[in-house]
Structure 1
């Protein structure tokens, strides 16, 4: 890890790192993704993100899906094992620890989902920060941004041109012009109308690490295949700050002994930190980060 990558992450709010998926693991991840997506499309996997609902809690009101939830769940069988090995792989956790400026022993197991293309409907997410309400005042935004440095999201796999971000917006409140494009629950018709926005295209095998409270949105073209690994890892030293954003997705299944059994020793340590967060938090009391 070069200093420039950490510096880039701090300055931009994101950094793209190639080569974190070895060639022999790449095909396994693609096959595991295809299996999970096929189960979801056939209706035999209940944990999904449905078209028409941008944020949790997700429902089953639409048969079309834009995401597969909980891909390390032991009920996914061999696919879950493949995903778990990648999530706890040395290359990935090394980068997470470097960007979070913590030891690997501090890394907390959190979420792992797949972002996929809907089959029948193109779909978009509104401009948002993952744990700041759209109507937050500038002072509220700044308070949240000052403490939201304890986790990192990452994506990788197929070529992906769905993610729009505003570089540097993880550090400062929205300008009045940016607020005008992000103060409603409606996704944008033209994401590039957002001042400062760029489209971030990932090539196969590239991983983008980004601060979850960077201003971002996404647009899903139902005609273009997408199966993007979408995971996040936290620094357990500040775990309480991430409780709502993580536990709102419903993670009771991580208490299943089958899940523990499929993890490496490192994975078990990461899981124990998540279980401690669960013990000291209540998703029902905390509610949900965003509406829509």
Structure 2
């Protein structure tokens, strides 16, 4: 599969693009079953690697009673090989490669998590960019946005998903004074569409939104709306150490274990090798010590 060049054009101009049909039909049932197991395992307390209500970024509160995300779904202890199999599948890899404009030999394994609905708490993320602090002055923000970190992030919906809000084109331009006022707070928005330029992204089951993680975005989580959305990212080795800060903060010690490597196909092993090489290049340890 080679993606239509119009997808890359939209992605570059708007900061996001929706692409359908990246889950092979023969894989859909297995992936849905794996997601249901991962969610049940997390909600029962058996899976401690979770994003908890009340925390937007890691580290997450282990004592929180509710979760909005399942971390590290490819972890061998999860016991669901369907996740890694899809992460390295032809349709997904070709889509990522096309958006990044790189060769397969430059693709780097990174994060694979899942976004879910909390069981009993409404929750929202504040407006943010993943790699530019909300208090950044305009010049600092402009400088940061001019650095392309050569990675792509995505959400693939297993069920209809209308949680994400973005400001198209904001991955390239500093915030206006009105946007800055609404995104310089630690509080989530009461109405995300009050943000100038904001739109709501709705995904049908099986659709994927790829987005630049420095686009201005936020999300809402409704405990009454079922959600199981595959949330992941992949990098291009040409980004070098610029990928490290966002990736290594999530606690990836387990990815260096041989039992994880053994679950991967050859493409996955090659991608993992490139992640380990990046980690070693910055003298990191695939863990939380990278947070700053």
TM-score (norm 2): 0.96
The partner residue of 1:56 within 55, 58, 62 is: 58
Give how far 1:138 is off.
1.2
Distance 1:25 1:284 in 2: 33
Alpha-carbon contact 1:64-1:120 (below 8 Å) kept: yes
Q: 1:267 — aligned with what?
A: 268
Q: 2:183 — aligned with what?
A: 182
Give how far 1:278 is off.
1.5
Distance 1:133 1:221 in 2: 26
Alpha-carbon contact 2:66-2:119 (below 8 Å) kept: yes
How big is the alpha-carbon RMSD for the aligned residues of Structure 1 and Structure 2?
A: 1.1
The alignment partner of 1:181 has SS state of helix
Give how far 1:285 is off.
5.5
Q: Give 1:1-292 correspondences, 5 Å limit.
A: 1-77=3-79, 79=80, 81-156=81-156, 157-281=158-282, 282=284, 286-288=290-292
Q: Deviations over 1:9-59 (max 9, x none)?
A: 111100100111122211111100000000000001010000011111112
Alpha-carbon contact 1:100-1:149 (below 8 Å) kept: no
Distance 2:15 2:198 in 1: 13
The alignment partner of 2:170 has SS state of coil
Q: Structure 1 residues 139 and 286, CA, compared in 2 at 3 Å: closer, same or farther?
A: farther
The alignment partner of 2:210 has SS state of strand
TM-score (norm 1): 0.96
Question: 5+ unaligned residues in a row in structure 1: which ranges?
Answer: none
Give how far 1:63 is off.
1.4
The alignment partner of 2:146 has SS state of helix
Distance 1:87 1:239 in 2: 21
Distance 1:162 1:27 in 2: 23
Please say which of residues 276-285 and 167-176 is displaced more in the overlay: 276-285
Alpha-carbon contact 2:153-2:232 (below 8 Å) kept: yes
Give how far 1:146 is off.
1.3
Alpha-carbon contact 1:64-1:119 (below 8 Å) kept: yes
Question: 5+ unaligned residues in a row in structure 2: which ranges?
Answer: none
Alpha-carbon contact 1:149-1:211 (below 8 Å) kept: no
Give how far 1:139 is off.
1.3
Distance 1:285 1:40 in 2: 25
